[in-house]
């Protein structure tokens, strides 16, 4: 079945540094990838929609200069959290879609900013 | 803005009891999906419903899409400890069908 990987699974960084998270679709080509963040005991909040070769579409309230998304190929999208602060600590999850509806989620990346 | 709400927020049941979570959208949905997220894990796709009034079953799980395509339910018969997790419904965004809006989720815990 469709598999999506994320790397790293956990990252701890100091305030002010940048962190890059990779999302890969391993056995299919993803026309669209999505980035979500999830705070403890809360639902998934969509941050941005990413299509290969084009600029990401950010949801309202998400700073595009802070959360840089690059969708370089049909199997890879990256999210860079720039100048991270403790309030950016969260669970970041990507998903990939090849067809019309179904999304396949990566295992998530837990970011802790100290 | 578009909202997808689920009730209850939490449900704690005795193993063997039934469980139901309800999903309500502020807008009509072309389809609805259900996901399960185990504690510490990521969401896993369970099913998609497309037709008005559609009912689908997966073993002990029964999914229903409302006639008006604005609500849905997930019913689990005779819960088992493996059913523990948070169940999310999700539907296409009102402004853009290419994105998915997740419901608030229902967290199920089970007493063995």
Mean pLDDT of B29-46: 92
Q: Which residue has tokens 């860079």?
A: A80
Sort out which chain A residues have CB atoms less than 8 A from B96's CB and list them: 49, 57
pLDDT in tens, A46-103: 999 988 888 899 999 999 999 999 988 889 999 999 999 999 999 999 999 877 667 8
Q: Is B91 on the interface with A (CB under 8 A)?
A: no
Task: Note the pLDDT of residue B37.
Answer: 95
Q: Exposed (0-12), middle (13-18) or buried (19+): which is B77, by Cβ within 10 Å?
A: middle
Q: Say if residue B2's pLDDT is above 90.
A: no
pLDDT in tens, B45-81: 899 999 999 999 999 999 999 999 999 999 999 999 9
Name residues whose C-beta falls within 8 Å of residue A51's C-beta, 6 or more positions apart in sequence. Answer: A31, A32, A33, A71
**C-alpha to C-alpha distance for A16 and B90, rounded to whole angstroms:** 34
Task: Note the pLDDT of residue B49.
Answer: 95
Sort out which chain B residues have CB atoms less than 8 A from A32's CB and list them: 98
**C-alpha to C-alpha distance for B101 and B91, rounded to whole angstroms:** 5
Q: Is B30 on the interface with A (CB under 8 A)?
A: no
Q: Say if residue B83's pLDDT is above 90.
A: yes
Q: Give the Å distances, CA to CA, from A69 to A40, A107, B67, B72.
A: 23, 18, 39, 33
Nearest to B42 among A34, A93, A101 (CB): A93
Average pLDDT of chain B?
Answer: 93
Task: Note the pLDDT of residue A72.
Answer: 83
Nearest to B102 among A41, A44, A107 (CB): A44
Task: Note the pLDDT of residue A4.
Answer: 94
Q: Give the Å distances, CA to CA, from A94 to A3, A27, A103, A105, B55.
A: 12, 16, 10, 6, 29
Task: Note the pLDDT of residue A52.
Answer: 82
Would the CB atoms of A107 and B41 count as touching at under 8 Å? yes
Q: Is B25 on the interface with A (CB under 8 A)?
A: no
Burial letters B32-58, b for 16+ CB under 10 A, else e: bbbbbbeeeebbebbebbeeeebebee
Would the CB atoms of A107 and B104 count as touching at under 8 Å? no
For B69, left (φ over 0), alpha (ψ -120 to 50), or beta? left
Name residues whose C-beta falls within 8 Å of residue B12's C-beta, 6 or more positions apart in sequence. Answer: B108, B109, B110, B111
Task: Note the pLDDT of residue B94.
Answer: 67
Q: Which residue has tokens 């890969």?
A: A24
Backbone phi, psi, residue A91, to 5°: -100, 115
In which band, very low, low, confident or very high, does the pLDDT at B35 lie, cut at 50, 70 and 90? very high
């Amino acid at each position: 079945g469709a598999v999506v990987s994320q790397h790293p699974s956990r990252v701890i960084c100091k305030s002010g540094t940048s962190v890059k998270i990779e999302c890969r679709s391993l056995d299919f080509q993803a026309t669209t990838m999505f980035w979500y963040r999830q705070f403890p005991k809360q639902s998934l909040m969509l941050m941005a929609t990413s299509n290969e070769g084009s600029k990401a579409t950010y949801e309202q309230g998400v700073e595009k200069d802070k959360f840089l998304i690059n969708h370089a190929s049909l199997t890879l999208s990256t999210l860079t959290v720039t100048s991270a602060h403790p309030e950016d600590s969260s669970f970041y999850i990507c998903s990939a879609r090849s067809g019309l509806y179904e999304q396949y989620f990566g295992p998530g990346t837990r970011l802790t900013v100290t | 803005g578009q909202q997808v709400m689920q009730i209850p927020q939490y449900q704690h049941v005795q193993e063997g009891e039934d469980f139901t979570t309800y999903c309500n959208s502020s807008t009509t949905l072309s389809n609805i999906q259900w996901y399960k997220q185990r504690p510490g894990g990521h969401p896993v796709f369970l099913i998609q419903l497309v037709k008005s009034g559609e009912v689908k079953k997966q073993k002990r799980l029964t999914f229903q899409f409302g006639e008006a395509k604005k609500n849905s339910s997930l019913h689990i018969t005779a819960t088992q400890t493996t059913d523990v997790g948070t169940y999310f419904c999700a539907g296409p965004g009102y402004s853009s069908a290419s994105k998915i809006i997740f419901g608030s989720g229902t967290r199920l815990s089970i007493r063995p």
